[in-house]
Amino acid sequence: MDRPLTYMDGETLMNTVLPPIRFVISQLLPQGLHVLAGAPKVGKSWLALWLCLQVAKGELAWEFPTTQGDVLYLCLEDSYARIQRRLLDVTDEAPENLFFATMSEKLRNGLEQQIERFLSTHQDTVLVVIDTFQRIRTGSNDANPYASDYRDLGILKELADKHQIAILLIHHLRKMNDDDPMNMISGTTGISGATDTNFVLRKDKRSANTATLYCTGRDIEYRELSLEFDGIDRIWKLREDSVEQPTQVQDELVFFLSEFLNQRKCFTGTATELAEELDKFADERYKPNVLMKKLLRCQQELLELGITLSTRRTHDRRELTLRVGCVDNDGKTDTGPVPDLSSQPSQLSQENSAANPAKRIAAEKNERQSE
């Protein structure tokens, strides 16, 4: 298939308002494809079930806020009777927006379509857990195991990006120890390379009730969570986090913009013009290029205040618009930023469609140059 390359120049990309990365579990689980690996019977499924419950209820996962939504848990190594017993152990009330399935088709043999149909009838879905990854794979005669791993994960990555959800795969570890826990994930490096985030749950001793959850990914800070399994509540409880939680300090620019837009409601102009307007509120003047960078980096904070940011290029200048709009619980707005462009661009999930903002922006630029 002769498909043209989709691209965007640096100047356009630098000044395009893209959707901020949305997290299902703040600081831990963003939208995209993820792997949670551990040795057999280490407690991966107990952890996965609890995380599903917390997201479905919109409650804290340890100290991390969650985005409440529908959750699908494919428990492909369990029966409904076993799932019921686990639910009775870990919760007093199971939410109606947490769904379980014990059987499914396999990858490239109907699973993608099954998940698509579920998502079409449960449009508030934010998380799909597949326990285990091996259960959905078909036998492969591929002479290149790396290519096989990467291709299988690419299908799920595309699905996650398309629907802006998180897909969490439960997987196993190799028997051979390694100083780097991520190197113990079973399979080739194609697995850890194709995913957005990797988690490894590892006990120091097989008989211990303590373990470390190693977390690394493209959109999260590396951290190690020291956990202890409560044998009564059947929950992994947090003992210590290697990353100290920062004190949330609002950027002064966000404060100034909030004050400014309380009076104006809407602003359209260049970064230079906005800097001049903010002179009335700030002690020192922002340089236009610095101001634009800070605006793009503070999008999430602005959205939480109901402020949306958009940009457009005219014949002679680049304009930005700040508007006080309506923001829903998912951070989406009625005057929101560029839609459908993944916040985590990946060759695994690129789609060549007319709705692709990169193509639209490039087309607009070509049109301007031809005028």
Q: What is the pLDDT of residue 249?
A: 53
CA distance 7 to 14: 13
Q: Tell whether 15 and 27 lie within a shared domain.
A: no
Q: What is the pLDDT of residue 339?
A: 33
Please give the radius of gyration of the chain, using alpha carbons only, rounded to the nearest integer.
23
Q: Long-range contacts of range 260-267, CB-CB < 8 Å, 24 or more positions apart?
A: 261/307, 261/322, 261/323, 261/324, 262/324, 265/323, 265/324, 266/321, 266/322, 266/323, 266/324, 267/321, 267/322, 267/323
Q: Tell whether 68 and 101 lie within a shared domain.
A: yes
Q: Tell whether 27 and 51 lie within a shared domain.
A: yes
Q: Is 366 part of any domain? A: yes
241, 267, 289 - which closes a domain: 241
Q: Is 1 part of any domain? A: no
Q: Tell whether 255 and 235 lie within a shared domain.
A: no
Q: Tell whether 270 and 162 lie within a shared domain.
A: no
CA distance 44 to 211: 11
Q: Is 103 part of any domain? A: yes
Indicate the burial class of 93 (C-beta count within 10 angstroms; 0-12, 13-18, 19 or more): exposed
241, 275, 310 - which closes a domain: 241
- Cα 297 to Cα 117, 156, 249, 343: the distances in Å are 36, 29, 14, 13
Q: Tell whether 213 and 329 lie within a shared domain.
A: no
CATH number, domain with residue 223: 3.40.50.300
Which residues of the chain have a pLDDT value below 50? 326-371
Token digits of residue 298: 């503070």
User: How many beta carbons lie within 10 A of that of residue 318, not counting itself?
Assistant: 14
224, 241, 258 - which closes a domain: 241
Q: Is 2 part of any domain? A: no
Q: Is 166 part of any domain? A: yes
Q: Tell whether 180 and 200 lie within a shared domain.
A: yes
Specify the pTM: 0.78
Q: Tell whether 223 and 188 lie within a shared domain.
A: yes
CA distance 362 to 6: 9
Q: Is 5 part of any domain? A: no
| Counted domains in the chain | 2
Which residue range forms the structural domain that includes residue 115? 23-241
Q: Tell whether 298 and 264 lie within a shared domain.
A: yes
Q: Is 3 part of any domain? A: no
